[in-house]
Structure 1
Amino acid sequence: MVRALAQGTFDLLHPGHIHYLEEAARMGDELYVIVARSANVTHKRAPVLDGRQRRDMIGALEVVDHALLGHESDIFVPIEEIDPDVIVLGHDQHHDEAAIERALGDRGIDCGVRRASPRDPAYDGELLSTGRIVDRICERRC
């Protein structure tokens, strides 16, 4: 059985997230998703929703077999526990594939790293970014 692993913040779930997870699921027989803990999200604005709520929303998706929160301090701990065959990165995630492959090799984790394709908006005004959703909320409700 091929284990695929996706990871992300998944704050304010949107169609771009669904596209990413569906594509990741097609790369394996079983899809694990690691949801970043709020304290570990340092490359963009802090999540609006608590990590447990984000994990529960991701876990409720039919395409996801297992959803879990990331480790408090070492992102590779759950990867070692899951032992995936492929890690699928989102098309816009800030991670460097080569650096991840080196870090995996240093830890003796033998798996490939692939990047998912982007998804274009299906219609004018469709928002595929949590940041854009938050901005729209502020424009219309704040």
Structure 2
Amino acid sequence: MKIVMATGTFDLIHPGHGLYLQEAKKLGGKNAKLVVVLARDSTVRSRKRIPVISEDQRKEVVEMLKPVNEAYLGSETDMFAIVKQIKPDIIAIGPDQKFDLDDLKKELEKRDIKSEVIRVPQYKKSPLDSSCKIIKKIKNTKFSDKCFKDC
């Protein structure tokens, strides 16, 4: 059984996340095990924005997704620590993740981590295909008082 590792923030889950995880798992073949590593809140804040959903709740939701076998929170100091611990056969990089695959492969070699790195080419295009787009839509929507009555 091959172990495939997928990584990401997974804040405000949308169909793009589902497609990425489905395609990542397929990379390992029929009986692959999909392990997902979620970015810590501190990492999200430093690289993207303030997360909407806490790291523990994001992990809990990702664990519920059909393709996922296990989920972990990543390291706040060394993103390769969890890779060394899990020893995946394949690391699946999402189509919108800003990793240079050659640089990533070199770093893995330097650390004696023998994982294949593959970018998932499929991307689910839709009006709300990113957490940022979802946040912007919420911010720009004129809600009536009725919408917030029970909030």
Give TM-score scaled by structure 1 length.
0.93
Q: Deviations over 1:105-125 (max 9, x none)?
A: 011000110111232436xxx
- Structure 1: runs of 5 or more not aligned: none
Q: CA deviation at 1:47?
A: 1.3
5 Å-filtered alignment, 1:11-22, equals 11-22=11-22
Same amino acid, percent of matched pairs = 37
Q: What whole-Å deviation, never above 9, does each CA across 1:11-50 have from its counterpart, x for those lacking one? A: 0000000000000011121000000001012332221111
2:120 partner letter: A
| C-alpha contact 2:19 2:124 (8 A) present in aligned 1 | no
Gaps of 5+ in 2: 144-151
1:34 to 7, 31, 37: 37
Corresponding residue for residue 134 of structure 1: 135
1:78 maps to which residue?
82
Residue 51, structure 1, aligned to residue 55, structure 2: yes
Letter paired with 1:39: S
Letter in 1 for 2:3: R
Which one-letter code corresponds to 2:76 in the other structure? Answer: E
- Please give the TM-score of this superposition, normalised by the length of structure 2: 0.87
Give, in whole Å, the separation in 2 of the partners of 1:99 and 1:66: 27
Q: CA–CA distance in 1 between the matches of 2:128 and 2:17?
A: 11
Matched, 1:9 2:23: no
Shift of 1:141: 4.8
Aligned residues: 139
Q: Would the alpha carbon gap of residues 79 and 138 (structure 1) be closer, same or farther in structure 2, given more than 3 Å must change?
A: same
From the superposition, tell whether residues 5 and 141 of structure 1 become closer, same or farther in structure 2 (CA, over 3 Å): farther
Kept in 1: contact 2:5–2:34 (CA 8 A): yes
* Match among 93, 102, 109 for residue 113 of structure 2: 109
The letter of the residue matching 1:68 is Y
Q: Which one has a bigger Cα radius of gyration?
A: 2
Cα distance in 1 between the residues matched to 2:53 and 2:115: 31
